[in-house]
């Protein structure tokens, strides 16, 4: 098990290309998952059962089955219904839908955590329900859940490795292909691990920076018995 | 009912701003408001007092539909308060409310708190809304804090901003739900003074409060609620000096004893 520098230099280009694909798939999925998750959360806060039911069923199905299964479903089963997707698109859709379901729970808890007095103040000013949600409740809900959402992003980044099973050559699969042809499993998988860490660690710092930028923890009820 | 016995000389007209008839509200099977009848005319300043749980906050919260009621009706300046969302929106635009816990929007500056509703509901331009906001923030003497966030202000300052925010909608009626109950004692006066000034300018208001000195200063009428019913209503002098009902007397003796 000798770790040669020349080997490392030889492997890097392919691994880095894989990493690029991983980053692409992650960023795209994050954006879609946030949008869909937010939409699901708003839909599920509705008071009408007819409106919330399809969203709830969707979320329950996703949360009750493995992500890996969902990836297979979208890539292998959808073509039977006429929808054939390439591995990248299938991967993005599976990751987005999966994380949207979990994020909707996080956003919902954020929405519920915004004090009722905020809605009452908005309504008493004559602000209609839609603007109350978009201008008063959601801005506060999102700030409250930034730490959780940040953690989910890092998690999505790691779960992107699962898309390797449908032959998308992102970082994990690039590593597997190299390892199976050179048998240098130790070197290659160690480098792969380091590349994942090199991205996820700074990402965690970024999340903490965003938390501080939005002054998390200060958006509390202004009538705070400790501070007055 | 239209007797003014304090130093405010703003006239009271005959126009009914709030007309509540036979209002009943239940929480499940518990009847919190029992066939209440209550009318407020333009220019009146009504103070509602009573023990906790009596329904006083619930009553005024019914007026802007923060609470729903099961029977009876409410008409606000000619608009019936029913399930029609247009009526509810119209009424909410004309009725301003100040809450015990201020409820300022923490993610917006003081100025933005004030301009949000006029820009959304009255379609004011940003500059027009800001001009209006500065006028009103000036009136409550807090214009120099316009760019600050609520978390940086004291309780008294926040409540004054809340009053300015409600006034930016130019309401015909102001509802105050225990506006000073959450304030440290030294800040109560600054807020009450603002409300007294508002009364002097003729604002119709209904104020739920425990501040009886303030009630004597500003009210044109004081109402006492107990267990979901208005037991007694009178001008302040009569109310405080010669209450008629037993429960009013015992409430006043408890609350005025310190």
Question: How do the pLDDT tens digits run along chain A, 228 residues long?
Answer: 456 777 778 888 989 999 999 999 999 999 999 999 999 998 998 888 889 999 999 999 999 999 999 999 999 998 888 888 899 999 999 999 999 999 999 999 999 999 999 999 999 999 999 999 999 999 999 888 988 999 999 999 999 999 989 988 899 999 999 999 988 898 899 999 999 999 999 998 988 888 888 765 455 444 434 433
Identify which of A128, A140, A223 has the shortest CB distance to residue B101: A223
Cross-chain Cβ contact A124/B66 below 8 Å: yes
A136 → closest Cβ in B97, B105, B155: B105
**B20's tokens:** 């509540």
Please report which residue ranges of B140-184 form alpha helices under DSSP H: 155-167
Using DSSP, state whether B16 is helix, strand or coil. strand
Token reading at A50: 């007819």
- Tokens found for residue B7: 């130093």
Residues of B in contact with A123 (CB under 8 A): 64-66, 92
| Cβ under 8 Å to A: B residues 161-190 | 162, 165-166, 169, 175, 182, 184
Surface of A (113-132) touching B: CB under 8 A: 115, 117-118, 120-128, 131
How much is the pLDDT for A31?
96
> Which of A136, A222, A223 would best serve as a mutation to test chain B binding (most B beta carbons within 10 A)?
A222
Interface check A218 vs B, CB under 8 A = yes
> From the list B102, B151, B154, which residue is nearest A218 (CB)?
B151
Q: Across the interface, which of A117, A219, A220 has its CB nearest the CB of B103?
A: A117
Residues of B in contact with A136 (CB under 8 A): 105, 116
Q: Is there a contact between A223 and B155 if contact means CB atoms under 8 Å apart? A: yes
Q: Which residue of A has its CA nearest to B168?
A: A125
The pTM (predicted TM-score) of the whole model is 0.83
Quick one: pLDDT at residue B9?
Answer: 56
User: Alpha-carbon distance A63 to A58, whole Å?
Assistant: 9
Long-range contacts from B49-53, C-beta under 8 angstroms, 24+ separation: B49/B208, B49/B209, B49/B210, B49/B212, B49/B215, B49/B222, B49/B223, B49/B224, B49/B225, B49/B251, B49/B255, B50/B224, B50/B225, B50/B226, B50/B251, B51/B226, B51/B251
Buried b (16+ CB within 10 A) or exposed e, A38-72: bebbbbbbeeeeeeeeebeebbeebeeeebeebbb
- Contact assignment for A222 to B151 by CB distance below 8 Å: yes
For residue A145, give the nearest of A111, A188, A122 by alpha carbon: A111
> How many Cβ pairs closer than 8 A exist between chain A and B?
86
Residues of A in contact with B155 (CB under 8 A): 222-223, 228
Chain B contacts of A141, Cβ < 8 Å?
A: none
CB contact under 8 A, A222 and B117: no
Question: Nearest CB to A123: which of B92, B104, B116?
Answer: B92
Give B12 to chain A, closest Cα distance, Å. 25
Taking CA atoms, what residue in B is nearest to A123?
B92
- In chain B, which stretches have pLDDT less than 70? 1-12, 257-258
Task: Indicate the angle between helix axes A185-213 and A171-182, nearest 10 degrees.
Answer: 170
Residues of chain B contacting A219 with CB distance shorter than 8 Å: 106-107, 151
């Amino acid at each position: 098990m000798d770790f040669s520098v020349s080997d490392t230099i030889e492997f890097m280009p392919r691994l880095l290309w894989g990493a690029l694909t991983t980053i692409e798939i992650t960023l795209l999925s994050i954006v879609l998952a946030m949008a869909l998750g937010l939409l699901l959360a708003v839909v599920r806060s509705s008071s009408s059962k007819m409106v919330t039911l399809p969203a709830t069923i969707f979320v329950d199905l996703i949360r009750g089955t493995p992500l890996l299964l969902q990836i297979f479903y979208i890539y292998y089963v959808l073509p039977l219904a006429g929808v054939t997707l390439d591995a990248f698109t299938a991967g993005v859709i599976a990751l987005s839908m999966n994380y949207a379901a979990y994020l909707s729970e996080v956003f919902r808890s954020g929405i519920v955590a915004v004090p009722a007095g905020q809605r009452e103040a908005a309504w008493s000013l004559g602000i209609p329900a839609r603007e109350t949600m978009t201008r008063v409740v959601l801005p506060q809900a999102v700030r409250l859940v930034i730490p959780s959402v940040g953690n989910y992003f890092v998690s999505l980044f790691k779960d992107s490795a699962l898309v390797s099973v449908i032959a998308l050559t992102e970082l994990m699969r690039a590593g597997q292909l190299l390892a199976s042809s050179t048998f240098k499993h130790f070197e290659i998988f160690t480098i792969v691990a380091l590349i994942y860490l090199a991205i996820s660690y700074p990402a965690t710092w970024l999340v903490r920076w965003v938390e501080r930028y939005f002054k998390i923890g200060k958006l509390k009820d202004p009538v705070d018995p400790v501070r007055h | 009912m239209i007797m003014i016995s304090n130093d405010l000389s703003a006239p009271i007209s005959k126009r009914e701003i709030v007309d509540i008839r036979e209002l009943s509200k239940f929480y499940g099977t518990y009847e919190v408001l029992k066939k209440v009848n209550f009318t407020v005319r333009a220019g009146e300043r009504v103070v509602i007092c009573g023990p906790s749980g009596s329904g006083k906050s619930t009553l005024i919260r019914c007026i802007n539909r923060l609470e729903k009621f099961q029977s009876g009706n409410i008409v606000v300046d000619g608009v019936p308060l029913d399930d029609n969302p247009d009526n509810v929106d119209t009424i909410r635009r004309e009725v301003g409310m100040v809450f015990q816990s201020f409820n300022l929007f923490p993610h917006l500056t003081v100025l933005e708190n004030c301009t949000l509703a006029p820009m959304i509901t009255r379609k004011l331009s940003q500059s027009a809304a800001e001009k209006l906001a500065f006028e009103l923030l000036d009136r409550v003497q807090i214009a120099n804090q316009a760019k600050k966030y609520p978390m940086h202000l004291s309780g008294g300052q926040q409540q004054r901003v809340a009053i300015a925010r409600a006034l930016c909608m130019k309401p015909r009626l102001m509802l105050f739900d225990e506006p000073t109950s959450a304030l440290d004692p030294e800040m109560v006066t600054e807020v009450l003074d603002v409300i007294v000034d508002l009364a002097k300018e003729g604002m119709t208001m209904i104020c739920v409060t425990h501040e009886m000195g303030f009630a004597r200063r500003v009210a044109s009428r004081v109402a006492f609620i107990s267990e979901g019913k208005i037991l007694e209503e009178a001008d302040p002098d009569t109310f405080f000096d010669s209450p008629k009902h037993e429960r009013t007397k015992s409430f006043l003796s408890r609350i005025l004893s310190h």
